Structure 1
């Protein structure tokens, strides 16, 4: 079980060094175009809302199941924060693929962005393969760790741009709420990991969980690459427009 804890932490640290996260942290003179990855997040953020429903235990009967459901409830309205920030950012039509709604759908479901959609589909399969709430908690820890790698890098950018407190999903509000979860982090709670490992012994299939963790973070690596490509494409388009003018 200790290998499961260590694997998540290792993957989180590796994901934080993805070139996308480095781009967010290291952009010294960013403008709004750096948020061009946001439309590409739409499928995952809205799909995440459904993941929470799949993670729930319909009729909880023990403390772990109740805590799992409570965590899902606490995260269930985050997609609304995302919609709020879409209005605040007021990204140009070009970031959404064009002026028409159909252009936006084409962008979100484009073949080059398949990795974003696949991450949701693959996690649903993994959820369905979980044998109990403890194994579902491993998935939640992976999701929380991946978000931490992303938001901690984004915080550097939003603070530099002076929008950290203005944005809800992408700013201070979301970051603070993640730190205030009633459940807290299964990995970061005060209970020593050795005790958690002993308590989970026999309830979690460690080898299967280790493979699942690898698969989830491999999906995030691919998804981050898609988001980074969105920034690069937007910046290239901006240079092209400026040259034509």
Structure 2
């Protein structure tokens, strides 16, 4: 498994170079604007809890790898609650007709966010515990990059508004370490998993595909942020 984890780390470093993260680091831009993509990410963020509950988690289980995954899902299945709190703190929680909210959530602007969900469901629905483990590791790696930048922005926002975020903050980053939740013993157990040559090759392909999916999602967030320059605007879609 060490080779797969090394590939994930390599891809993570490449992922960190995507333009959105340069945008998020640009202190000449209002910090709230640098998180203006948050509504666009809502379909993915709000689905992530259910991905953990209904796709990653499998109980009861006698498989030690699945047992580790199950434990991890209980950490990750409720972060969307913090996201809802932060929408208000970022001045993005504007009144909206229910029909307009639905229109936005299924609009072209959020299609990459929805598409990422579908891809994760696709690769997780029939996945072995090893494959689920890889999907989670990639998700954790990409999340760690995102929240490393977001946590810095939230400190700027607090200095301006005196409002403390939780989702886009150190509070969340502390559990988005880049790896599955667990002790050093669990990390060593994962590293020492032996894979057949066929399983190893499938794992390499899965890692490549997943980073491509997350890259497409991230690039869509940047387009949204640049097209919504007024972070106080109402998303009244026609």
Q: Which runs of 4+ in 1 moved over 4 A?
A: 179-182
Q: Any conservation in 1 of the 2:37–2:224 contact (CA below 8 Å)?
A: yes
2:211 is the alignment partner of 1:217: yes
Task: Work out whether residues 165 and 173 of structure 1, in 8 Å CA contact, stay in contact via their aligned partners in 2.
Answer: no
Deviation at 1:203, TM superposition (A): 9.7
Q: CA deviation at 1:216?
A: 1.1
In 2, are the aligned partners of 1:40 and 1:230 still within 8 Å (CA)?
yes
Q: Distance in 1 between matches of 2:3 and 2:146?
A: 23
Match of 1:151 among 144, 147, 168: 147
The runs of 5 or more residues in structure 2 that have no matched partner are 232-238
Question: 1:11, 1:104 → 2: CA distance?
Answer: 35
Distance 2:69 2:157 in 1: 36
Which residue of 203, 223, 228 corresponds with 1:234? 228
Deviation at 1:2? 3.7
Cα RMSD after superposing both structures: 2.8
Q: Is the 8 A contact 1:7 1:210 kept in 2?
A: yes
Deviation, 1:101, is 3.1
Higher normalized helix content (fraction of residues): 1
Secondary structure (helix, strand or coil) at the match of 1:23 reads helix
Structural mapping, 1:38-77, within 5 Å: 38-53=38-53, 54-77=55-78
**Does 2:89 match 1:105?**
no
* 2:123 pairs with one of 110, 126, 132: 126
Q: Does the CA contact (< 8 Å) of 1:134 and 1:204 recur in 2?
A: no
Any residues of structure 2 matched to 1:71-220 within 5 Å, and which? 71-91=72-92, 93=94, 99-131=96-128, 133-162=129-158, 166-179=164-177, 182-183=181-182, 189=187, 191=188, 196-197=191-192, 199-202=193-196, 205-220=199-214
User: Aligned partners of 1:33, 1:136: CA distance in 2, in Å?
Assistant: 34
Structure 1: which 5+ runs fail to align? 239-245
Question: 1:166-224, CA deviations, whole angstroms, 9 ceiling, x for partnerless residues?
Answer: 111111211123349752589x93x398xx34x33239811111111111111111111
Report the TM-score, using the length of structure 1 for normalisation: 0.81
- Report deviation, 1:136: 1.0
Task: Provide the residue aligned with 1:35 in structure 2.
Answer: 35
Look up the SS of the partner of 1:105 in the other structure: helix
